[in-house]
Amino acid sequence: MQIAIQGIGVVGGFGTGVTEMRQALLTGTSNRATLDLSNCGTPLNIPAFRANISRLTDYVPLKALRRVDNFSKLALLGAYLALEDAGVLAEGKQERLGVVIASGYGATGITFAFLDSFINDGDICASPTYFANSVHNSAAAYISIMLGATGPSSTVSQFHHSVPSALQTAWLWLAEGRVDRVLFGAVEELSELIGYAWYRQRGTAHKPEMTPLLTGVESAIPGEGAAFLLLTRKEEAQDGYCLLDRVTTGRLLKPGFLSSPQDLLVLGADGRIEKGGDYAQLAEKSTVACFTALYGSMPCGPALDIAIAALMLKEGKTFASPGGGICDFPASVAAGGNILESHRVSCLSLSDEDCFGLVSLAKG
Amino acid sequence: MDTKEKLKKILIDDLNLEELTPEDIDDNAPLFGEGLGLDSLDAVELVVIIQKHFGIEIKNMEEGRVAFQSIEALAAYIDTRMESA
Amino acid sequence: MTFAPVAITGMGCICAAGNNLNDSMASLFRGMRAPAPPVSFTSNHPIDYPVFEVLNFSVPSDLLRTSALGLHAAREALADAGLEQEMLSRLTVGVCVGTTVGCAISNETFCRELRSGRTPKLAPLERVHRSNPAAVIAREFGFSGPCQTIVNACSSGTDAVGLAASWIRSGVCDIALAGGADELGRITYIGFISLQITDESPCRPFDRNRKGLNLGEAGAMMVLESEQVRTMRRKKARSLVLGYGSACDAYHLTAPSPDGAGLKHALTEALACNGTDPAAIAFVNAHGTGTPDNDRVETRVLAELLPGVPFLSTKGYTGHTLGAAGAIEAVFTAACLERGEIPANAGFSSPDPELERNPVTENTPFSGTVALSESLAFGGNNSVIILGKGETA
């Protein structure tokens, strides 16, 4: 069975929506902002790719968002953008829609706020609203409630393996006929907690730009954002982006596993030095691209790679890897603006737990 | 500031009723359902809010139900508890 | 669409009722339970709420307790299935685990230090990073198959077993370890108290005086196995996954839909998977948390869709173990099918005139071969799994 990508909703350092993402891909630049850590005993900002959620009120009245936390707002914005992009926003209740959410860290901002509520005022003053929002599936719940999606809902959380793992669930739901559509989304927020951990682990000496294909160099800049895909079975698809041909996940991937070396390979390498070598080893001799420098290092990044790959397949053209694609291992980096010669594009992501995800997309 | 005014400000801030001002809230309008539109999760949050801002413990929802009728009722409940303390 | 049954060839669990499946079942049928105020942490809340803690269990310092509980149950399940490392290394083995706490990037001591202006070391967060419950099991045994950690709050464990059955049917792995794990801790304890759905007394599922749940902790795992591998090694099935259904209420963040719409939907889908006749269901292992809302919705749906089918909640013996609940209840359901008997619903003494159905009040034998376990979760998730009796009983 094959699955079709019908709509894409993205938000991140590059902007909001497919049009702004496309523009960033063409120019190779993205907005770098900062994350304020002054409440963490570290009077400083660190550079970061931030997401702007201001457009959410185009879709949801402010009143309905009054207790929705930042993480769920990011998710809701991604969800509405994907439905709008697919042209199904006006359809009303989505009874045969499943919702699958992937997040490496979850709603750490509101989790921290919940802890603050009883650290500051005692256990008896713990906020039940913050607690409810801190539960991992609250973003999926808000999406289901607001869209009237009464199909199944599932949230997956396992750091950099969350996206391919969750996408496999979306695939199986469609293959087994449990739903007619799946709204698949990946979400990451930069909270003080994540920022502090980043600062403690990697310090403040940031490179001016991410160079993720220089695998011997630490150049990661943290990012946040969301990437949502509206998926349906190929047979029921209308004009969309491309097909989701295969999702393969597992552990302990060995070099040579990548079965179609002629496919363009989008690497999830994100400037973290500890993973660079693994990508280099697996991608040797392939034609590669890498887009993390547009949105930053974040566990849900592989979903943005899928969105970018889908856009390439739809347009039949390649986008240049930002930063000129300087590469220090024997692979050929695809140039931008060319006709996409391969029929398929595969996105590879590797996690710290030795898990891999290979998501192969094909022309529709 | 009397208890009612203080309460309205606190509810707007702590329950994120951003689109309202204290003047918009009718002293006698129901807090739940029609009226202010609060729900069961707000009810348990309200217990914490009253504890945090007034130091008054509402032991359970049966007790809360009477107090949570309206701003008027809640302010009266708080004033009575403060006096008896 | 009809789905082929998937064999369960091994099971393991650890909870307040016992450190393995046999001990836990023995406690259930002896009606033993001992909820008590927490031992492993304290709270300055004026009331001590009883919890179901696993005592006498040691955790390696580099792991979260949650992951250690999952690993403990996984070892028991693999041993029960007779699967040794040598054979496992030749198969594609997947791991699917439901949890809540096992994925929470939070640590109270760390956050207190951060807020007091100190710059705490990352060790507690690094421990979380190393302890993703599915990854811990896959790493421990060197598995190469798919690996997923599901965080659907209180239906996570049921969803993990349901998804793993799909993995086996679709051929993405030969064997899947599926279940759930969750530890007790201050953060969830304080959180559930703040929601006012915690009982000050030992929990009383379906009783008219029920005031809420008691938290518990557990790990529970099942070995799901492809027919190809099972035939090759001539292994009998202890139980079978016959159906799984899941649906969202799309109603409210914390309250179940009063008409049980999502639960009905999930139940109907689970029955349809294998064309199970509702009249064939021998018993229902209900979610039965003991909260007024949950038990009201659940009995309403059971009265409508499965009238006359005996039901019980095992949470009176284990507490509500959150992400592990669906998994440990699936394990108990399978073990009860083998035994042909269900235990009394602990904590029930006074029928609630508002509820249309009452649970079993004593250990009750039955003769059927199919049973159903259901989970209702925060966020409006409802998941139902249908299990069949295996060949060994």
Q: What is the CATH number of the domain that holds B58?
A: 1.10.1200.10
* pLDDT value of residue B64: 81
Query: Between C303 and C392, where is the model more confident?
Result: C303
List the CATH number of the domain containing C66.
3.40.47.10
> What's the start-to-end Cα distance of chain C, in Å?
29
Q: Measured between alpha carbons, how far is A118 from A120 in angstroms, rounded to an integer?
A: 5
* pLDDT value of residue A251: 93
Q: State CA C335 to chain mean position distance.
A: 14
Assigned domain for C329 exists: yes
Stretch among A76-80, A117-121, A253-257, C8-12 having the lowest mean pLDDT:
A253-257
A137 Cα to chain C: minimum distance (Å): 5
| Stretch C108-122: mean pLDDT | 92
| Stretch A62-79: mean pLDDT | 96
**Is there a contact between C252 and B39 if contact means CB atoms under 8 Å apart?**
yes
For residues A162-190, b (16+ Cβ closer than 10 Å) or e, as one string?
A: bbbbbbbbbbbbbebebbbbbbbbbbbbb
pLDDT digits (tens, 9 = 90+) for A192-251: 999 999 999 988 777 788 999 999 899 999 999 999 999 999 999 888 999 999 999 999
For residues A56-79, b (16+ Cβ closer than 10 Å) or e, as one string?
A: beebbeeeebbbbbbbbbbbbbbb
Confidence category of residue A259, pLDDT binned at 50, 70, 90: low
Q: Does B55 touch chain C (CB under 8 A)?
A: no
Residues of B in contact with A66 (CB under 8 A): 15-18
pLDDT > 70: what percent of chain A? 99
Residues of C in contact with A66 (CB under 8 A): none
Name the residue in chain B with its Cα closest to that of C293. Answer: B40
**Is there a contact between B19 and A132 if contact means CB atoms under 8 Å apart?**
no
Q: Measured between alpha carbons, how far is A86 from A309 in angstroms, rounded to an integer?
A: 17
Q: 3-state SS of chain A?
A: CCEEEEEEEEEECCEEHHHHHHHHHHHCCCCCEEEECHHHCCCCEEEEECCCCHHHHHCCCHHHHCCCCHHHHHHHHHHHHHHHHHCCHHHCCCCCEEEEEECCCCCHHHHHHHHHHHHHHCHHHCCHHHHHHHCCCHHHHHHHHHHCCCCCEEEECCHHHHHHHHHHHHHHHHHCCCCCEEEEEEEECCCHHHHHHHHHHHCCCCCCCCCCCCCCCCCCCEECEEEEEEEEEHHHCCCCCEEEEEEEEEECCCCCCCCCCCCEEEECCCCCHHHHHHHHHHHCCCEEECCHHHHCECCCHHHHHHHHHHHHHHHCECCCCHHHHCCCCCCEECCCCCECCCCEEEEEEECCCCEEEEEEEECC
Residue C111 has which token pair?
């956050």
What is the interface size between A and B, counted as CB pairs within 8 Å?
30
A324 Cα to chain C: minimum distance (Å): 33
Average pLDDT of every residue of chain A: 94
Q: What domains are defined for chain A? A: 3-362 (3.40.47.10)
Residues 240-299 in C contacting A (C-alpha not used; CB under 8 Å): 246-254, 261-262, 265-266, 269
Q: How far is CA B62 from CA A60, A212, A310, C196, C293, in A?
A: 34, 59, 55, 12, 15
* pLDDT value of residue A257: 72
Q: Does B42 touch chain A (CB under 8 A)?
A: yes
Q: Does B44 touch chain A (CB under 8 A)?
A: yes
Residue C364, pLDDT above cutoff 60: yes
Assigned domain for C182 exists: yes
Q: Which of A68, A123, A125 should one mutate to test binding to chain B, selecting the residue with the greatest count of B CBs within 10 A?
A: A125
What residue numbers bound the domain in which B31 lies? Answer: 3-84
Confidence category of residue A93, pLDDT binned at 50, 70, 90: confident
* pLDDT value of residue C392: 56
Helix (H/G/I), strand (E/B), else coil: C265: helix
Tell which residue, C88, C371, C81, C318, has the closest CA to residue C180. C318
Q: At what angle do helices B71-84 and B40-54 cross, to 10 degrees?
A: 40
**Is there a contact between A66 and B45 if contact means CB atoms under 8 Å apart?**
no
Residue C182 β-bridge partners: C218
**Is there a contact between B47 and C196 if contact means CB atoms under 8 Å apart?**
yes
What one-character-per-residue DSSP string does C33-65 give? ---BS-SS----SSS---BB---S----TTS-H
pLDDT digits (tens, 9 = 90+) for B72-84: 999 999 999 988 8
Q: Which of B18, B37, B45 lies nearest to residue A127, judging by beta carbons?
A: B45
What total number of domains does chain C contain? 1
Residue C393, pLDDT above cutoff 50: no
* pLDDT value of residue A262: 81
The complex's ipTM? 0.97
pLDDT digits (tens, 9 = 90+) for C144-173: 999 999 999 999 999 999 999 999 999 999
What is the interface size between A and C, counted as CB pairs within 8 Å?
215
* pLDDT value of residue A204: 74
Average pLDDT of every residue of chain C: 96
Residues 303-332 in C contacting A (C-alpha not used; CB under 8 Å): none
What residue numbers bound the domain in which C341 lies? Answer: 7-388
Q: Measured between alpha carbons, how far is C262 from A99 in angstroms, rounded to an integer?
A: 14
Residue A136, pLDDT above cutoff 90: yes
Query: Where would I find the H helices in chain C?
Result: 21-30, 65-80, 85-88, 108-115, 123-130, 133-141, 156-170, 186-194, 227-232, 261-273, 292-305, 315-318, 325-339
**Is there a contact between C134 and A176 if contact means CB atoms under 8 Å apart?**
no
Helix (H) or strand (E) holding C221: strand C218-225
**Is there a contact between C145 and A354 if contact means CB atoms under 8 Å apart?**
no
Residues 5-34 in B contacting A (C-alpha not used; CB under 8 Å): 15-19
Q: Which of A131, A132, A355 lies nearest to residue C147, judging by beta carbons?
A: A355
Assigned domain for C2 exists: no
**Is there a contact between B19 and A128 if contact means CB atoms under 8 Å apart?**
no
Q: Which of A144, A168, A250 lies nearest to residue C250, judging by beta carbons?
A: A144
Assigned domain for C209 exists: yes
Residue C53, pLDDT above cutoff 80: yes
pLDDT digits (tens, 9 = 90+) for A3-28: 999 999 999 999 999 999 999 999 99
pLDDT digits (tens, 9 = 90+) for B12-54: 999 999 889 999 999 999 999 888 889 999 999 999 999 999 9
Q: Measured between alpha carbons, how far is A235 from A180 in angstroms, rounded to an integer?
A: 11
C268 Cα to chain A: minimum distance (Å): 12
Q: Which of A135, A142, A159, A298 should one mutate to test binding to chain C, selecting the residue with the greatest count of C CBs within 10 A?
A: A135
| Stretch A49-72: mean pLDDT | 96
* pLDDT value of residue C247: 98
What total number of domains does chain B contain? 1
| DSSP conformational letter for C363 | -
C204 Cα to chain A: minimum distance (Å): 23
**Is there a contact between A177 and C1 if contact means CB atoms under 8 Å apart?**
yes
Residue A252, pLDDT above cutoff 90: no
* pLDDT value of residue B37: 87
| Stretch A246-265: mean pLDDT | 82
Q: Does B60 touch chain C (CB under 8 A)?
A: yes
